[in-house]
C-alpha cells in the first residue's frame, strides 16, 4: 500500500489495521509498522496479542511468498527490519520488571545461520517470564556456546536454527558438551521452524519448543523439576 501515503491508520477498524500492518510489514515499511503497533496498543491490545496477530502473522505471510519466489532476500530483509522495529516497541512491555528470577538462559542461533527474529522473540518472552537471558546472537560455532556457558553459568542453553542445512549443527554442540562431560549440567532446549520433537530427541536435546510461548512453559517446567531434584538431594 505504499501508493497510499495519505492513509490514516487511525481511521481503520482493528481488523483492517491488523491487515494493514501485515501489508506494511510485507512492504518493509518500518515507520508504518511502528505506527500500527502503537495504535493497537493505544486501543488496549495486549502486547502479546499485538505481537502474534500483527507481527508474527505478517512475517508468516512474507515467508510463504519468499518460499514461492515472489519475494527475494532484499525485500525480506526490509520486512525483517520492520518486524524488528515493531518488536522493539513491544519488548519493554513484555518484560516484567521486578519479577522473581526463575533461572538463566543462554540463547543463540547456530553456526551458518543468520536468522534471528524467532530467537530474539524467544529471548524477549523468556525475559518477560522472569528469566535472565544472555543472547549470544547469530552464526555461533560450538566454541561460542561453550564460552557463554563457562562465563554465564546458565541453567538453560537454547539453540535456534531456521535452515535444514544448519539444524544438524545442534548435534555438534550437544555432542561436544557430552565429550566434555557437561551435557547433564544444562537443560538443552531447541527451536526453529524446520525442527520437530523427533529431531530434538535424535540430537539429544531435552525438548523442542514450537514457539516462544512453548519455550517459556517448557523452561519453567524443567526449572521446577531441577529445583525438585535439588531439594530431594
Ligand atoms: Co530465510 N529462509 N533465508 N531469511 N527466512 C526461511 C527460514 C525459509 C523457510 C524461507 C522459505 O523458503 N520459505 C528458507 C529455509 C528453507 C529450509 O532450509 N527449509 C530460508 C532460506 C532458504 C534463506 C536463505 C538460504 C535464502 C538465500 O540466501 N537464498 C538465506 C540463508 C541465510 C543464512 O542464515 N545463512 C536466508 C536469509 C534470510 C534473511 C536474511 C533475508 C531473513 C532473516 C532476517 C533475520 O532474521 N534477521 C530471512 C527471513 C526473514 C526468513 C523467513 C521469511 C522468516 C523467518 C522469521 O523470522 N520468522 C523464513 C520463512 C519462515 O520461517 N516461514 C525464512 C518469524 C519468527 C517469529 O518465526 O523464526 O520460526 P521463527 O521462530 C519461532 C519458532 O520457530 C520458535 O519460536 C519462534 C517464535 O515463536 N523458535 C524457537 C525459533 N528459534 C527458537 C529457539 C528456541 C525455542 C524456540 O530455543 C529454545
Looking at ligand 1, which residue's alpha carbon is closest to its atom 14? 163
Going from the Cα of 7 to the center of ligand 1, the distance in angstroms, rounded, reads 31
Going from the Cα of 79 to the center of ligand 1, the distance in angstroms, rounded, reads 12
What pLDDT is stored for residue 96 in this prediction?
A: 65
What is the DSSP secondary structure assignment for residue 110, as one 8-state letter?
B
Q: Considering the entire predicted model, what is its pTM?
A: 0.92
What are 74's three cell numbers?
A: 532484499
Q: Looking up cell 519468499, which residue turns up? A: 66
What are 209's three cell numbers?
A: 519448543
Measure CA 88 to chain center. 13
Going from the Cα of 192 to the center of ligand 1, the distance in angstroms, rounded, reads 8
Task: Give the C-alpha separation, 207 to 212, whole Å.
Answer: 13
Question: Could you tell me if the CB of 135 is within 6 A of ligand 1?
Answer: no
Question: Could you tell me if the CB of 158 is within 6 A of ligand 1?
Answer: yes
Do 188 and 106 touch, CB atoms closer than 8 A?
no
Q: What is the pLDDT of residues 118-159, one digit of tens each?
A: 999 999 889 888 899 999 999 999 999 999 999 999 999 999
Do 189 and 226 touch, CB atoms closer than 8 A?
no
Q: Looking up cell 520492520, which residue turns up? A: 82
What are 87's three cell numbers?
A: 518488536
Biggest CA-to-CA distance, the chain = 66
Quick one: average pLDDT of 196-220? 96
Q: What is the pLDDT of residues 54-63, one digit of tens each?
A: 999 999 999 9
Going from the Cα of 179 to the center of ligand 1, the distance in angstroms, rounded, reads 30
Question: Could you tell me if the CB of 80 is within 6 A of ligand 1?
Answer: yes
Q: What is the pLDDT of residues 36-56, one digit of tens each?
A: 999 999 999 999 999 999 999
Amino acid at each position: 500500500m505504499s501508493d497510499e501515503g495519505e492513509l490514516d491508520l487511525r481511521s481503520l477498524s482493528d481488523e483492517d489495521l491488523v491487515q494493514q500492518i501485515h501489508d506494511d510489514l510485507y512492504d518493509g515499511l518500518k515507520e508504518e509498522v511502528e505506527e500500527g503497533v502503537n495504535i493497537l496498543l493505544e486501543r488496549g491490545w495486549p502486547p502479546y496479542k499485538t505481537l502474534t496477530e500483527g507481527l508474527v502473522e505478517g512475517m508468516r505471510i512474507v515467508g510463504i511468498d519468499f518460499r514461492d519466489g515472489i519475494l527475494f532476500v532484499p525485500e525480506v530483509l526490509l520486512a525483517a527490519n520492520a518486524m524488528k522495529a515493531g518488536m522493539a516497541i513491544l519488548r519493554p512491555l513484555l518484560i516484567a520488571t521486578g519479577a522473581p528470577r526463575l533461572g538463566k538462559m543462554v540463547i543463540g542461533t547456530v553456526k551458518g545461520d543468520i536468522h534471528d527474529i524467532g530467537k530474539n522473540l524467544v529471548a524477549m518472552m523468556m525475559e518477560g517470564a522472569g528469566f535472565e537471558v544472555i543472547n549470544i546472537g547469530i552464526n555461533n560455532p560450538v566454541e561460542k556456546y561453550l564460552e557463554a556457558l563457562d562465563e554465564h553459568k546458565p541453567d538453560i542453553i537454547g539453540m535456534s536454527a531456521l535452515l535444514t542445512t544448519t539444524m544438524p549443527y545442534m548435534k555438534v554442540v550437544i555432542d561436544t558438551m557430552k565429550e566434555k562431560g557437561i551435557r547433564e549440567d544444562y537443560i538443552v532446549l531447541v527451536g526453529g521452524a524446520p525442527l520437530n520433537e523427533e529431531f530434538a530427541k535424535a540430537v539429544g536435546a531435552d525438548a523442542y519448543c514450537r514457539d516462544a510461548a512453548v519455550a517459556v512453559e517448557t523452561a519453567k517446567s524443567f526449572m521446577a523439576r531441577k529445583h525438585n531434584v535439588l531439594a530431594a538431594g
